[in-house]
């Protein structure tokens, strides 16, 4: 099963590389970008588009990572609270059993 997943992953990666190669070969025009503060040298439009895609993916990953960390810390806090409540419940059960034997 593991080798099937690896094979599928390899096929997907190779297909994406082929699409990227085709994309970059079809978009060879060079453009210069002026960012007000700095002017970038002329580079191909394919590289600009791919760079913006990578920057967007990294930004999205960082935003989702912050949400994941917040949710994970809430989960840890809830688990700690659950364990404390379970411990208290167990001690009350034991106290109830000890109190019932004396009567």
User: Quick one: average pLDDT of 31-46?
Assistant: 87
pLDDT (mean) for 32-56: 88
Burial of 34-67, coded b for 16+ CB within 10 Å and e otherwise, reads eeeeeeeeeeeebeeeeeeeeeeeeeeeeeeeee
- CA end-to-end distance (rounded Å), the chain: 62
Name 32's Cβ contacts closer than 8 Å, sequence gap at least 6: 39, 40, 41, 42
Q: What is the pLDDT averaged over residues 39-44?
A: 88
Average pLDDT over residues 83-103: 81
Residue 75 has what pLDDT? 96
Q: Residue 103 pLDDT more than 70? A: no
pLDDT category at 101 given cuts 50, 70, 90 is low
The pair of structure tokens assigned to 35 is: 């960012």
**Does pLDDT of 80 surpass 90?**
yes
* Helix/strand/coil for 16: helix
Whole-number Å distance between alpha carbons of 31 and 34 = 10
Nearest Cα to Cα of residue 50 among 71, 25, 75: 25
Per domain, the residue ranges of the chain are: 2-102
pTM > 0.75:
no
């Amino acid at each position: 099963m593991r080798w099937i997943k690896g094979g599928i992953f390899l096929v997907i990666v190779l297909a994406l590389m082929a699409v990227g190669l085709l994309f970059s070969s079809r978009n060879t025009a060079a453009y210069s970008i002026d960012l007000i503060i700095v002017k970038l040298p002329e580079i191909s439009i394919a590289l600009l588009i791919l760079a913006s895609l990578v920057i967007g993916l990294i930004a999205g990953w960082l935003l989702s990572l912050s949400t994941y960390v917040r949710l994970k810390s809430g989960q840890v806090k809830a688990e700690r609270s659950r364990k404390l409540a379970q411990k208290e419940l167990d001690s009350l059960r034991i106290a109830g059993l000890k109190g019932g034997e004396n009567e």
